[in-house]
Each structure stands twice: as C-alpha cells, then as structure tokens.
A and B are shown apart, each in its own frame.
Chain A
Amino acid sequence: MKLKIYALIFFLHFSSILSANQIVDQNAIHKNLRCLVCQGQSIADSNSDFAQTLKMVVKDLINQGKTEEEIYDFLSDKYGDWILYKPKFNLENFLLWFFPYIVLIAGGFIIVFLIKKRSKKV
C-alpha cells in the first residue's frame, strides 16, 4: 500500500514538473514570436486575433511533440525569419551576431595598446 502511495506521489510530482516545463517553454516561444499585425509586440503581449491563432498553433505543435527549434522552423518557413525576435544564425545575418564581438575584441586591443604605450612613457 505504502509503495502505491509513493508511486502516486512520484507520478503526480513528475507530471507537475513536466507540465511546468511545458508552460515555461510555451511562454518562451510566445515571447520570441512577433505579432505581425501589431506594433512591436510579441504574441505573448498581444490579444490580437492573429496572436491568438498562433498561440493555438504553438500549443498544437507542442502537443505533437515538436521541439522549440522545430516550431520556429515551421513558422519561419510560413512567415519568414521576420516572425522571430531572435534571428536565426545564417549567412545573411552573421555580421549581426559577430559584429559586437569583433568590436569588443578590437576595443580590447586598442585599450591594451594604449595602456602599454602610457606605461612606456611613464
């Protein structure tokens, strides 16, 4: 009997963890999807008809067992990369991803160089 109770508690605990994860994932996906008919809003922030439909589609895709990436692939295939707030990494936008790092490294070199130069003068 005790074993059954433990099993039930474990099952309930495990299923609640799973459902909590799903809610988190779903919200994260909503936040990364642009509402195409709104002004700068994600579908998480919008109650528009389009946002509501997309939320239902995302829910269906999650229920079908699709991963976050697969959902983004599906929707960007239908609406283009514009629908994603976080752009995908590809040839067209690699500068967008790397430019901040390039600037950071270049800035670091300049600072190091200036410090060295100053210390030489002193």
Chain B
Amino acid sequence: MRKTIKSITLIVLIFILGVFFISLNKSTDYNTEHLIGNKLNKIKFESLEHKKIFTEEDFKKNNYTLINFWASWCAPCRIEHPILIKLSKEQNLKILGVNFKDKKINALKFLKDLGNPYDYLAKDTSGKESVNYGIYGIPESILIDNKYIIQKKFIGPLNLKDYDDILEVINSL
C-alpha cells in the first residue's frame, strides 16, 4: 500500500510540476491570433465625413482591405502613420480607417497634418462597434480578403516587419 501511495504522490507531483513548467514557459501576452481565418460578418461602420454606412458591399471589389483603428489622441497611431501612407500606394490594398472614440475636428486635422492614407474613413464614437472585431486598444489593424476572411491581425502600431508581412499577403495573388 505504501508503494501505491508513494506512486500516486509521485504522479501528482510530476503532474503539478508539469503544469507549472508549461504555464511558466507559455507566453502570457494576450493576443487575438485565434481570429485569423475567421470571417467577418455584418461589417457596418458609419462614415466619418458623410451620412453613409459602410458595409461588406463596399469592400467586396477590393482584393484586400486593411481595417485600421486609430485616433488623433493616440500617440502610437502617429508612429504607424508613415507605414499606412506607404501601404496606401499599394494597388491590391484598400485601407479603411476607423476613427476610434475621437472628435471629428481633431481626426480631420490629424489627417490634414500627416496625410490621409485611407480610402474609406469611418468612425466608432462609442467604441462599441470595435468590440465586434476583437479590438481592445488602439492602434490595431485587421487585414481581410475579398471574402472578408481575416488574414492578419496586428495589435499595436504597424512596423516595417508588419509592412513586409502585409505586402507578402497582398502580392501573393
């Protein structure tokens, strides 16, 4: 019996150590990678400038669409802006800018000062719409194809590596 108790204790100990080992080696940084491959349903954004609603139909004809969540008050958005300007020159890609919890006047000034990379300009004043896209802070970007399947998701400001990743996807056609 003692042997049985010893072996059970040993198994439990190994199990607990195993759980600790796996947990401590696992990255605890939250990410939304699981969204890649999912289809975006019911895309619906209010236009920032006009009385218009953007829906899936508006993006159907694009090979790829990059949905970028930004705001004039967001410092990292300024950092990624030159990357967005570079991406706006790509033919296979259209960019939808979703102005997040911002004032229209400030948003338009931001674009006037730094340039406007967006083909579509939308707003999410309350931030509620962005929850449908798994957004929890800005800037965040989602690259979708013409079937609205998420190809890439970027949390934080886009950098040169992200730029190359996006080019790789959009030029793979």
Contacts and interface: CB of A to CB of B under 8 A. Distances in A.
A36 B126 contact: no
Contact of B1 (A57, A79, A82, A117): A117
A32 to B, nearest CB: 16
A60 B126 CA distance: 12
A118 B127 CA distance: 67
Most chain-A CB neighbours within 10 Å: which of B35, B134, B136? B136
Interface residues of B, number: 19
B136 A50 contact: yes
Given A37-B136, A78-B132, A78-B134, A49 B5 contact: no
Given A50-B137, A113-B1, A56 B12 contact: no
Contact of A56 (B1, B126, B134): B126
B24 interface: no
Contact of B30 (A78, A82, A117): A82
A57 B32 contact: no
Contacts of B132: 78
B127 A37 contact: no
A97 B131 CA distance: 29
A62 interface: no
B1 A36 contact: no
Contacts of A17: none
B128 A36 contact: no
A50 B69 CA distance: 14
B126 A53 contact: yes
A106 B12 CA distance: 11
A103 interface: yes
A113 B132 CA distance: 55
A79 B133 CA distance: 9
A53 B30 contact: no
Contact of B127 (A36, A53, A60, A78): A53
A37 B137 contact: yes
B5 A78 contact: no
Nearest to A76: B34
Contact of B32 (A53, A75, A80): A80
Interface of B: 1, 5, 8, 12, 30, 32, 34-35, 101, 126-128, 130-134, 136-137
Q: Shortest 10 CB-CB distances between A and B: which pairs?
A: A53-B127, A78-B134, A36-B136, A57-B131, A50-B136, A80-B34, A57-B128, A79-B134, A36-B30, A56-B128
Interface of A: 36-37, 49-50, 53-54, 56-57, 60, 75, 78-80, 82, 103, 106, 110, 113-114, 117
